[in-house]
Amino acid sequence: MPKRSIRYWWRELADRAATALAVLAVVLVLLPLGAVFTYLVMKGIGSLNWAFLTQTPKPVGESGGGMANAIVGSGIILAIASAIGVPLGIGSGIYLAEYGRGRFGDVLRFTADVLNGVPSIVVGIVVYGLVVVTQKHFSAFAGGIALGIMMIPTISRATEEVLLMVPNNIREAALGLGISRWRSTLSITLRTAYSGVITGVMLAFARVAGETAPLLFTAFGNQFWSLKPNQPTAALPLQIFVYAISPFDEWHRLAWAGALVLIALIMIAVTAVRVVAARGMLKGTA
């Protein structure tokens, strides 16, 4: 038996202390998560009712009212954003994984990573200048473009990552059978990595679904129904923001309910797409 010297005792103590501190860090990190969700459910569920989901906002002083127009507006904006962001993102991911070996690929990769960190408010200003000023009015369309731009880098890096996980023998087998390269990329490589690509898309979607800053000067918000993509459109995060910083208790309650609905909708959308995607496909590598 080695003699337990002071030094040994000290080292063991340091080891224990480090472990304890790490556990403490985990607890402190997870604490706000629990707190946010608890408050959301506690405060949100009380104000959540049928009217909230079916009515438009009431003027100040009148109680009741809902965010139906904002929910639908968010849906429209996100649909436009996905129509722009998903194909461009997946396309550039395919380019990076299948063709982007050289220095140019590295430049694109770097651009995507850096673009990922650009503040969303800056994207809002750029789209304001490009779309809103040109069209001379705010619109769901402009909001969709802003969010779509934000989706591209995330989706492209995620797509690249999962495509690179597909074993090379699969590509070689396809090419060996005489299948052309584009066909093998689309129906074999991409198909194998399918679930990973969907995960990347959903992450990007969830991220932009809660974005408020780029919508301030693009979609702008609206107190009424606006179903045309060419008009100023309400969005759930915008509405929550306006209500949260207002001085009215009634609006604060609606803000909590809105936040609960926003998170619930994001989660429903993400799970729904994953369930649909997981059904009837091969279990790939991803």
Partner 1 sequence: MKLGPIPAPRTPTQPDLRVEKRIPLIREEPNRFADRGFEFLMLACGLSLLVIVGLTIYELVDKSHLSLQQFGWRFFTGSNWDPVAGDFGALPFIYGTVVSSLVALVIAVPLAVGTAVFTTEMCPKPLRGPISFLTELLAAIPSVVYGLWAIFVLAPLLRNYVEPFLAKYFGWTGLFSGPPFGIGMLAAGVILAVMIVPIISSITREVLVAVPQTQREAALALGATRWEMIRIAVLRNARAGILGAIILGLGRALGETMTVTMVIGNRPEIAKSLFAPGYTMASVIANEFTEATGDLYLSALVHIALGLFLVTIIVNALAQLLIWTVTRGAPSRANA
**Residues 64 to 103 in contact with partner 1, rule: CB under 8 A:** 87-92, 94-96, 98-100
Residues 23-52 touching partner 1, rule: CB under 8 A, are 23-26, 28-30, 32-33, 35-36, 39-40, 43
If you write DSSP's letter for every residue of 183-244 in order, what string do you get? HHIIIIIHHHTHHHHHHHHHHHHHHHHT--GGGTTTTB--SS---STTS-B--HHHHHHHHH
Does an H or E element contain 103, and which? helix 103-116
| Shortest separation between residue 220's beta carbon and partner 1, angstroms | 8
| Shortest separation between residue 224's beta carbon and partner 1, angstroms | 18
Q: How many residues does the chain have?
A: 286
For 87, the token pair is: 């194909």
Residues 244-263 touching partner 1, rule: CB under 8 A, are 244-245, 252, 255-256, 259, 262-263
For 110, the token pair is: 């770097």
| Shortest separation between residue 164's beta carbon and partner 1, angstroms | 6
Among 77, 81, 112, 151, the residue binding partner 1 under the rule CB under 8 A is 112
| Shortest separation between residue 280's beta carbon and partner 1, angstroms | 26
Contact window for partner 1 (CB under 8 A) among 45-53, 75-83, 225-233, 239-247:
239-247
| Shortest separation between residue 19's beta carbon and partner 1, angstroms | 6
Return the closest-CA partner of residue 140 out of 241, 282, 12, 235.
235
Name residue 242's amino acid. Answer: V
Is position 173 an interface residue for partner 1 (rule: CB under 8 A)?
A: no
Contact window for partner 1 (CB under 8 A) among 52-60, 72-80, 119-127, 272-280:
119-127
C-alpha 87/C-alpha 268 separation (Å) is 22
Give the residue with the Cβ less far from partner 1, 134 or 280.
Answer: 134
| Shortest separation between residue 279's beta carbon and partner 1, angstroms | 22
C-alpha 145/C-alpha 218 separation (Å) is 9
Q: Does residue 57 sit in helix, strand or coil?
A: coil
Give the residue with the Cβ less far from partner 1, 234 or 262.
Answer: 262
- Say if residues 65 and 58 touch (Cβ distance below 8 Å): yes
Among 207, 250, 264, 277, the residue binding partner 1 under the rule CB under 8 A is 207
Give the residue with the Cβ less far from partner 1, 2 or 59.
Answer: 2
Q: What angle do CA 171, 176, 179 make, to 5 degrees?
A: 75
Give the residue with the Cβ less far from partner 1, 68 or 115.
Answer: 115
